[in-house]
Structure 1
Amino acid sequence: MFYQNLLIFSFFILLYGLFASRIDKTVISGPVLALIVGIVFGPPFLNLFQSGLKTEEYRLVAELALALVLFTDASKSNLNVLKKNASLPIRLLFIGLPLTIVFGMIAGFLIFKGFSWMEIGILATMLAPTDAALGKAVVTNKVVPVKIREALNVESGLNDGISVPILFLFIAFFTASQSGSGLDTLYGVMLFIKVIGIGLLAGLAVTATIAFIAHLSNAHKWISESWKPILIIALSFSCFTAAQLAGGSGFIACFAGGFLYGTLNQKYKLSNIAVESAEGAGDMMSLGIWFIFGAFVVNTFHQEFTWEVALYALLSLTVLRIIPVYLSLIKTGIPVKDKLFIGWFGPRGLATIVFAIIVLDVQLLHLDTIIITTVCVILLSVVLHGFTANPFIKLLNKK
């Protein structure tokens, strides 16, 4: 069965790779295609793709895929543009993100009866981070103003890492409530600061050290060109695991490390081709996650679908994202249509999948509803954001 699974996925990657550039110009993105093919080949349809991956193994692969994507995306960030427009991602992260979680909790209380505030908080946090890779047509299209592209890229690169300690805080509150013990709020705040701080330090320290060694090795011609992409992949994994082991956010570490690597790459002239090759590896891993997600997760939880789930999913992708973003961008001088564009393009992807896998191990009272809501949001996001990317870019560009 393993070889059959590998054959199916390999053929999918081959066919996608042969037409990737053409596909990117259509309304169907790579994740959309992987999701659809996964659904078709998995149960209850053709039932030819049968994974033996355990939850922990799937989580590890998903985390590493996200780590690599964050690192390579950050390494291509335009530092000069960010210096001029740093306020945009800062507002999105420190005003828009908290408001998104708060609005999500308010909507959750109104829609889901019987949920504790901790479960609502977990759901709202799971659905808060965005995925620039899912909206790649937006963040890579030169027609979109560069300040918008960079703002969306930085936001998606950091909001998942910031959401991690918030998610674990809600989980800790829930676990404490179930055991009858209390949890100090100050402890939660300190935990949040610690996770973010350690993540930043780990990513910057690991990347600075390795980049300097790579510079020396490159100057002496000790590095083989064929190994440079492998070094980027290993560096992203090192940032992630170092931060996780130290008690920090591995995702914050990867984005911070990738951003620093992009800066040092220009200074040391290491290799741009290596970054692009590593990005390709990250894309392939991501497609694998979407493929498996379509084959198994979607078909496993479709029985729990209700009108409450559908309503919350629609709200999560629209007003619960757009209004907080709009409020966070007040008095920035950005045109209304640009604010709405940024608000709309907050697709939910890999980070939300990783969070869903984490929550599967928590004995939540309404776990099935939380997971199916998450699955529904991801599915709707893949379709809506995938199909609207190119048309909305054209609308944005109209005077």
Structure 2
Amino acid sequence: MDTSLIYQNLTIIAAFLLVYSLIAGRFESKLVNGPLLFLLAGALLGPGALNLFTLEIDNEGIKLLAELTLVIVLFSDAANTDWQVLRANRRLPIRLLLIGLPLTLVGGALLGRWLFPDLPLLELAILATILTPTDAALGQAVVSNPAVPAPIREGLNQESGLNDGICVPVILLLLALIAPTEQHQGTGALALSLMLEEIGIGLIVAVGLSHLTLWLLKLSYLNGWQLPLWRQLTLPGLALLSFALAQTLGGSGFIAAFVAGLLIGYRFGEHKHEYLDSCEGYGDLLSVVIWMVFGATMLPIMGSLLEWQYWLYALASLTLLRMLPVWLCLLGSGLTLELKLFVGWFGPRGLASIVFAVMVLQNKPALLGQEPIIKTVLCTILLSVILHGISANPWVNRLKRCRA
């Protein structure tokens, strides 16, 4: 990319961040949330409209940006897991993760079988897995508003923080099962090899680096070596190191970052927020760039997304495939019908789905159904950003009036 274009893009992003940081409260308390506004800004400023935000990033650049963003978000979400709150309100997230999530995966694959009959079942399972993780950032008004009952808030927040980490090994396994088998005895051997190598190495790296970091932090504290400014870089450094080292050794960097976040959050307890604020800030910054790039990319290709199967699957993914499993897993929970519908609806798709889609794009050899899978994912994310963005605050306000 030309140097002048790099500076032009940086100017656009920095100006947008500056303005939005000053007026965020005006927007996020109304109909438009952050990700939706970022997407709209990218679409308006990108090649499909004003052409001020010029995209000439190659596939590797997009992949790296998306991966680093997900690493920081995975680590932060895992580290922010409040184990006391989770134990106190464990029924909802446990039901959502252990019952609702598998039902969503199965339902997504079966619907794909009907809409895309020519695609292999494994590839349809990959599509379902890409669109299963939820993104709390798209429903921030829900997980941060005290008008929503605390068990519901915490349940949705913990589900969003954990389900993308759970889906990482699932998608790795599915990609392994469709990989070439010339160097292995069969797809089962390849899948087992990947599970042992990628997931195992990721776990080992996470445990080793987490314990080393905790020991170094204790040593630094006892000797008075810490400075407040540099302390803010400790956990972002651990997240990136876990990812990079695991990838270097042939493991899964996403699993390493997620597990490292879980371990650090558990060991730090109530003191973790002193270290996590900057990590969350970096994640938010990278997320803004991702959503702007997504918006700038989507507008020029909208003409290629007109197949009815893409949009029907997208609509079903946000409604039937999410809400029916949630309703089933909440039977006997004591929640009212409206709260069950509320929990079922607020399962927005976002960053994790984008990164999983990039992983599929980078997979060699290319999937037989790569084009319909990616286009269906794009339609679902776009629909989710719009519908969840404009429905969060009105439904929360309705709950507030009902409880008043």
> TM-score with structure 1 length normalisation?
0.90
Who is 1:396 aligned against?
399
Match of 1:28 among 28, 32, 43: 32
Counterpart-to-counterpart distance in 2, 1:42 and 1:375: 17
Who is 2:221 aligned against?
218
Who is 2:77 aligned against?
73
Match of 1:386 among 360, 364, 389: 389
| Change over 3 Å in CA distance of 1:154–1:246 after alignment to 2 | farther
> Residue 19 of structure 1: SS of its match in structure 2?
helix
> Residue 133 of structure 1: SS of its match in structure 2?
helix
CA positional deviation for 1:245: 4.3
Instruction: Report whether the alignment pairs 1:317 with 2:318.
Output: yes
CA positional deviation for 1:127: 0.8
Instruction: Report whether the alignment pairs 1:368 with 2:368.
Output: no
Who is 1:295 aligned against?
296
Instruction: Report whether the alignment pairs 1:229 with 2:232.
Output: yes
Task: Summarize deviations over 1:65-124 as a string: whole Å, max 9, x none.
Answer: 122123223333322111122233232222211111110111111122422212212211
Who is 2:349 aligned against?
348
Counterpart-to-counterpart distance in 1, 2:63 and 2:313: 25
> Residue 77 of structure 1: SS of its match in structure 2?
coil
> Which moves more between the two structures, 385-394 or 344-353?
385-394
Who is 1:6 aligned against?
10
> Which moves more between the two structures, 272-281 or 376-385?
272-281
CA positional deviation for 1:173: 3.3
Who is 2:109 aligned against?
105
Counterpart-to-counterpart distance in 1, 2:343 and 2:197: 30
Who is 2:277 aligned against?
276
Task: Summarize deviations over 1:204-251 as a string: whole Å, max 9, x none.
Answer: 442233133213313332112111222221122123334444555433
Which residue identity does 1:44 align to in structure 2?
Answer: G
Q: Percent of pairs identical after alignment?
A: 44
Which residue identity does 1:385 align to in structure 2?
Answer: H
Who is 1:159 aligned against?
163
Number of aligned residues: 396
| Change over 3 Å in CA distance of 1:304–1:239 after alignment to 2 | same
Match of 2:68 among 58, 64, 67: 64
Q: Is the 8 A contact 1:89 1:154 kept in 2?
A: yes
Who is 1:254 aligned against?
257
| Change over 3 Å in CA distance of 1:189–1:342 after alignment to 2 | farther
Task: Summarize deviations over 1:323-350 as a string: whole Å, max 9, x none.
Answer: 1122222333333332222211111111
Which residue identity does 2:133 align to in structure 1?
Answer: P
Unpaired runs of 5+ residues, structure 1, are: none
Who is 2:136 aligned against?
132
Unpaired runs of 5+ residues, structure 2, are: none
| Change over 3 Å in CA distance of 1:328–1:79 after alignment to 2 | same
CA positional deviation for 1:382: 0.4
> Residue 362 of structure 2: SS of its match in structure 1?
coil
| Change over 3 Å in CA distance of 1:237–1:386 after alignment to 2 | same
> Residue 43 of structure 1: SS of its match in structure 2?
coil
Match of 1:122 among 115, 120, 126: 126
Q: Is the 8 A contact 1:158 1:252 kept in 2?
A: no
Q: Is the 8 A contact 1:127 1:374 kept in 2?
A: yes
Matches within 5 A, 1:158-197: 158-176=162-180, 183-185=186-188, 188=191, 191=194
